[in-house]
Amino acid sequence: MCHKMKIILGNSLKEFLESQAKKNPIRADGSKFSWEEKNVQSDRVETGSSGLLDAIYLKKPAEGTVVVERSVAALIQERISNLEEEITHLRSRIRFFKIAILIFFVGAMMLVGEVFILLRGG
Amino acid sequence: MGNLREKFQGLENEVSARFIGNKDAIHAIILDQLHQRSATLIRAHRGLGKSTLMLLLLKGLCGDDLVVISGASEVKRGEVVGRLHIPSLEREGVEKVLWAAFTKSKGKGLDEVNRLNPYTSANVHHMMQFGEVWAYGQRTAIEDYVLLANENPGDPTTFMHPPPFYDRFDICVYLSSLTWREKFLLQELIEKYEGQLVGSMPQMLSLEELQEARKEVSSLRLSSDILGQINLLVRDFQVCIRNREESEVKPPALCEGCHFIRDICSSIKEPPSERSTAVLTHLAKAMTWLDGSVNFDSLLNAGLWILPHRMALVRVRNLLQDLNALLDREKAKTDDREARKQWAILNELYKGYTPALYKLGKEAASEDIVFAEELMRLEDRWVKEGKVSGEETISVQMGWKLPGSWRGERA
Note whether B260 and B385 are same-domain residues. Answer: no
Give how many domains chain B has, as a whole number. Answer: 3
Per-residue pLDDT at A8: 78
Quick: pLDDT tens for B93-145: 888 888 989 999 999 999 999 888 888 889 999 999 999 999 888 999 999 99
Considering only CB atoms, B224 lies closest to which of A12, A23, A86, namely: A12
Residue B144, domain extent:
2-219
Please tell me the number of Cα atoms within 13 Å of B23 on its side-chain side: 4
Per-residue pLDDT at B291: 95
Separation between Cα atoms, residue B57 and residue B148, nearest integer Å: 8
Note whether B186 and B89 are same-domain residues. Answer: yes
DSSP character at residue A55: I
Quick: pLDDT tens for B225-250: 999 999 999 999 999 988 888 888 98
Mean pLDDT within B39-55: 95
Per-residue pLDDT at A122: 62
Judge: A16–B344 Cβ closer than 8 Å, yes or no: no
Note whether B81 and B201 are same-domain residues. Answer: yes
Mean pLDDT within B39-54: 95
CATH number at residue B321: 1.10.8
Judge: B350–A17 Cβ closer than 8 Å, yes or no: yes
Selected for mutation to probe chain A from B359, B398, B405 (highest A CB count within 10 Å) is B359
Residue A19 identity: S
Domain end (from B323, B338, B353): B338
3-state SS class at B108: strand
Separation between Cα atoms, residue B55 and residue B325, nearest integer Å: 33
Note whether B209 and B236 are same-domain residues. Answer: no
Per-residue pLDDT at A71: 73
Note whether B333 and B405 are same-domain residues. Answer: no
Q: Which residue of chain B is at minimal alpha-carbon distance from A21?
A: B344
Per-residue pLDDT at B392: 86
Note whether B28 and B112 are same-domain residues. Answer: yes
Considering only CB atoms, B224 lies closest to which of A16, A23, A49, namely: A16
**pLDDT grade, residue B277 (50/70/90)?**
very high
Judge: A82–B261 Cβ closer than 8 Å, yes or no: yes
Instruction: Give the angle subtended at the CA of B276 by the CAs of B72 and B231, to the nearest 5°.
Output: 170
Domain end (from B283, B311, B338): B338
Cα A41 versus chain centre, distance: 30
Residues of B with CB under 8 A from a CB of A: 224-225, 227-228, 256-257, 259, 261-262, 336, 340-341, 343-348, 350, 354-357, 359-360, 362-363, 366-367, 377-378, 380-381, 384-385, 391-392, 397-398
Domain end (from B289, B317, B338): B338
Separation between Cα atoms, residue B69 and residue B167, nearest integer Å: 20
Selected for mutation to probe chain B from A3, A20, A41, A47 (highest B CB count within 10 Å) is A20
Nearest in space to B155 (alpha carbons), one of B281, B44, B317: B44
Quote the percentage of chain B above a pLDDT of 70: 96
Note whether B306 and B381 are same-domain residues. Answer: no
Q: Quote the mean pLDDT of chain B.
A: 91
Note whether B334 and B228 are same-domain residues. Answer: yes
Per-residue pLDDT at A75: 78
